[in-house]
Structure 1
Amino acid sequence: MRILVLGFTGYLGGHVVEHLRALPGARVFGGGRSPDAVINCAGSTDGDPVTLAEVNSRGPAVLCAALREAAPSARLVHLGSAAEYGPGTPDTRVTEASATRPVTPYCATKLAGTVTVTTSGLDAAVLRVGNPVGPGAPPTGLPGRIAGLLRAAGPDPDAVIRLGDLSAYRDFVDVRDVARAAVLAATSPGPLPHVLNIGGGRAVPVRELVRTLARTAGFRGRIEEDGGGSARSGAVSWQCSDIAAAGDSLDWRPSYALEESLAALWAATSVRPEGGRAP
């Protein structure tokens, strides 16, 4: 089976390729081949609205047009975002049938990409991914940024890490579980629903994630909240996905507990004595 992975050098794409290479009979390409399946991991979480639209909205449109011409029978798996749903209701999980109410350019551009893929007429499925966490998390996301701050602070008991408001709830999912879901969706023999939620299925206080990672790191200083925070996530105080459909369609469920994901993230950021980084 020939599988083309777009965005394979990125955080999610790198883990997807790692899972695919362990799949018997799979041939993984970064471009230039006629594929049996395409996994689109390309996307942007940062940038001005024009940049976000170019990557998150126009990118999937160009891809769909190219596939209609070159490989109309290929399975397309596109990584969307749970942020497309917008603000959630406390104690309520969103299903794939829930209304979408994007509140930022990032959310809106990701939703536009999803609409393009699901209405393209291709054999396509969108995985609406929660907040990915785990080894290799980039500093542009909260878990990776916190890990970097903890690494810089070291064991100093007088260290102070100042963060924004940590009162929000998020649905964290291990990046390796996301990669496994993408591989299952790309190789599933039957038709799939147009949209599937991929998350941990649990709303976790962001404050809990930060404190757990701090304990994992052996941090002895103080963490202070100043009330500020990310404009991209600040408008959404609660986020949790119903992941039952992914279980029914892909026989997929998350396999890593949050503590395991954070331990793997911390281990991956460890600095070797000679100055290199852990694998």
Structure 2
Amino acid sequence: MRVLLLGANGFLGRFVADRLLADPAVHLTALGRGDDADVRFDLAGGSPGALTRFLDAVHPGVVVNCAGATRGGARDLTRHNTVAVATVCEALRRSGCGARLVQVGCASEYGPSQPGSSTAEDAVPRPGGPYGVSKLAATELVLGSGLDAVVLRVFSPVGPGTPAGSPLGRLAEAMRRAMQAGKGGLKLSGLGAQRDFV
């Protein structure tokens, strides 16, 4: 099976790439902005036509989109999380490859939950900031595209390379600084939230 992975060098993309590369039945092509991508392409600035030509040449059966941004202002988040997905959807509509799109969404699309409650998969999304709004807009683009597509909303991923801007990344950095300073303890606040970690 031919798989095109978008955002293969990002936090989630690296893990997805490792898993796909371990499967001998998968022929993986990585598309991204970095030099170590198989093909360099900026989804936020590239044209759907150029991406369509690439899709027609590679002819993947599945496109997995792990690309995006977790930090920045509303404009950058919209460009990297929403406009980029619009480019992918339009290119897939134009292409003859017929690939299935797997869009990686996130818990921020739901927004904050009420204390003592949990967020179910069918909860009404109410994102609380520009990041969640940009990811929810991308989800809506994918689900309304008419493509063979699915959105996976990933909750609280953690592991090596956790982004510094995420809550767990900030915690890891605070712990590192405390250990370097020889502090025997670290005072934390807001520990009432319960999360499922992936």
TM-score by length of 1: 0.57
Find the residue that maps to 2:157 and give its secondary structure.
strand
Q: Distance in 2 between matches of 1:70 and 1:29?
A: 17
Q: Distance in 2 between matches of 1:72 and 1:171?
A: 38
Tell me which amino acid in the other structure corresponds to 1:132.
Answer: P
Change in CA separation of 1:156 and 1:55 when aligned onto 2, cut-off 3 Å: closer
Superposed, which structure 2 residues align to 1:209-220 within 5 Å?
A: none
Aligned residue pairs, count? 173
Question: Structure 1 stretches (4+) deviating beyond 4 angstroms?
Answer: 159-163
What percentage of residue pairs aligned between the two structures are identical? 40
Q: Distance in 1 between matches of 2:148 and 2:118?
A: 27
Could you tell me which runs of 5 or more consecutive residues in structure 1 were left unpaired when the two chains were aligned.
175-279
Shift of 1:119: 0.8
- Match in the other structure for 1:84: 109
Shift of 1:72: 5.2
Please tell me whether the aligned partners of residues 133 and 172 of structure 1 are also in contact (alpha carbons under 8 angstroms). no
Q: Distance in 1 between matches of 2:91 and 2:155?
A: 28
- Match in the other structure for 1:97: 122
1:169 aligns with 2:193: yes
- Match in the other structure for 2:5: 5
Tell me which amino acid in the other structure corresponds to 2:27.
Answer: R
Measured against aligned partners, the alpha-carbon deviations of 1:101-143 in whole angstroms (never above 9, x if no partner) come to 1121111111000000011111100011111111221212222
Find the residue that maps to 1:154 and give its secondary structure.
helix
Shift of 1:93: 3.1
Q: Distance in 1 between matches of 2:156 and 2:139?
A: 17
Measured against aligned partners, the alpha-carbon deviations of 1:23-65 in whole angstroms (never above 9, x if no partner) come to 1210110134221101100111111111111111111111000
Q: Distance in 2 between matches of 1:128 and 1:112?
A: 13
TM-score by length of 2: 0.78
1:123 aligns with 2:169: no
1:107 aligns with 2:132: yes
Q: Distance in 2 between matches of 1:156 and 1:102?
A: 37
Could you tell me which runs of 5 or more consecutive residues in structure 2 were left unpaired when the two chains were aligned.
32-53
